[in-house]
């Protein structure tokens, strides 16, 4: 009987179909970067290679490898990385790295990400591609069309999700080539962190359209924030993925990862200014932003939109509780 959580052809069919399709579309002979990227983007092959392997073991191996301090090995790794992605290091503060992890978690030059100064604007906490977004239907959220999940399952048993019922959400996907640090979307106080241990499924669109409740299965942290403007609650949910089950948070001086027993509750009271760094992923992954009723998506926010940290994501309610437009 077919597993209702996962759909797709057999591994042999996946490889054969994906390889034939990508090779037929090659613009020039030879395994250049274009061919490798086409192969990687073939849905069945991508799903097979990133989810049908021992995910947790692969993630731990990647963590060990990325931490090796070797400039030569790092240069070679970055060269291979560029075969599959559009990695651009031109904005990085440093351009030479002693480890792959140092490249993953690189800081940017000052001024590389201007922060929208409008106090009515909630800005994007990270560079990302917008995924599923829009209204929360009661307690139901969608990771992809036809693939819902419940707020309570995502947040875990200890967290109160009622402030976000019928609110707004935006899914922000960070690819492996993107800037991996994330920042405060407004002047906020970080009040609580809940860390939930889980799996390490890939969180790309291919997997989201095949695996039910994927975000609720993976390791994640729930960051409960409160805005200085109006005291509105806000939640950021960074979700780990294959090769990236590590999350660094500055406010609690803790590296969250799969070997840390959970769920783990961390009370804190840490004030941050809009745009101030909150932490980083050790690779690429996803952040889901939740806001209460009265907020609305900023103009142009829709699935597929590419955002930079600091650009408008949502607009705050006005003093009467009605949403207002930015600008």
Q: How many CB atoms lie within 10 A of CB 2?
A: 7
- Please name which of 154, 164, 282 lies closest in space to residue 219, comparing C-alpha atoms: 154
CA distances from 114 to 64, 125, 245, 274 (A): 34, 12, 29, 11
What whole-number distance in Å separates Cα of residue 320 and Cα of residue 158? 31
Q: Which residue has the tokens 């926010």?
A: 301
Token readout for 68 is: 């090796």
Query: At what angle are helices 33-41 and 43-51 packed, to 10 degrees?
Result: 80
Percent helix / strand / coil, the chain, rounded to 5: 25, 30, 45
Region label for 318, one of left (φ > 0), alpha (ψ between -120 and 50) or beta (otherwise): beta
Q: Which residue has the tokens 């769920």?
A: 263
Whether 192 is catalytic is: no
Q: What is the dihedral sign for C-alpha 49, 53, 55, 56?
A: negative
Whether 285 is catalytic is: yes
Looking at 183, 195, 232, 283, which residue is catalytic? 183
Q: Are 292 and 233 in contact (CB under 8 A)?
A: yes
Looking at 44, 116, 127, 199, which residue is catalytic? 127
Token readout for 313 is: 């994501």
Cα angle 294, 298, 300 (rounded to 5 degrees) comes to 145
What whole-number distance in Å separates Cα of residue 280 and Cα of residue 248? 5
Whether 180 is catalytic is: no
The catalytic residue positions are 127, 183, 285
């Amino acid at each position: 009987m077919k597993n209702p959580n996962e759909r797709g052809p057999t591994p042999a069919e996946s490889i054969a179909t994906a390889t034939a399709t990508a090779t037929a579309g090659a613009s020039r002979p030879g395994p250049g970067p274009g061919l490798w990227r086409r192969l990687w983007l073939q849905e069945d092959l991508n799903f097979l290679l990133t989810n049908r392997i021992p995910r947790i073991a692969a993630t731990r191996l990647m963590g060990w490898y990325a931490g090796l301090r070797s400039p030569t090995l790092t240069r070679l790794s970055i060269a291979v990385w560029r075969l599959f992605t559009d990695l651009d290091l031109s904005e990085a503060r440093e351009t030479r790295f002693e480890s792959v992890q140092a490249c993953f978690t690189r800081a940017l030059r000052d001024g590389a990400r201007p922060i929208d100064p409008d106090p009515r604007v909630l800005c994007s906490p990270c560079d990302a591609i917008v995924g599923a977004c829009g209204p929360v239907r009661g307690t139901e959220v969608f990771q992809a069309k036809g693939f819902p999940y419940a707020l309570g399952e995502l947040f875990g048993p200890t967290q109160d999700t009622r402030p976000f019922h019928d609110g707004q959400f935006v899914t922000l996907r960070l690819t492996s080539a993107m800037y991996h640090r994330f920042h405060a979307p407004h002047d906020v106080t970080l009040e609580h962190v809940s860390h939930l241990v889980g799996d390490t499924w890939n969180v790309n669109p291919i997997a989201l359209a095949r695996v039910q409740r994927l975000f609720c299965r993976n390791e994640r942290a729930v960051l409960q924030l409160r805005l200085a403007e109006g005291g509105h609650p806000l939640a950021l949910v960074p979700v780990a993925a294959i090769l990236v089950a590590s999350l660094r948070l500055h406010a609690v001086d803790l590296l969250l990862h799969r070997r840390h027993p959970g769920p783990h509750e961390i009370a804190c009271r840490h004030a941050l200014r809009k745009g101030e760094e909150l932490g980083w992923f050790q690779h690429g992954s996803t952040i889901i932003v939740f806001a209460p009723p009265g907020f609305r998506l900023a103009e142009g926010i829709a699935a597929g939109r590419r955002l930079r940290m600091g650009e408008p994501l949502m607009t705050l309610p006005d003093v009467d509780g009605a949403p207002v437009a930015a600008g």
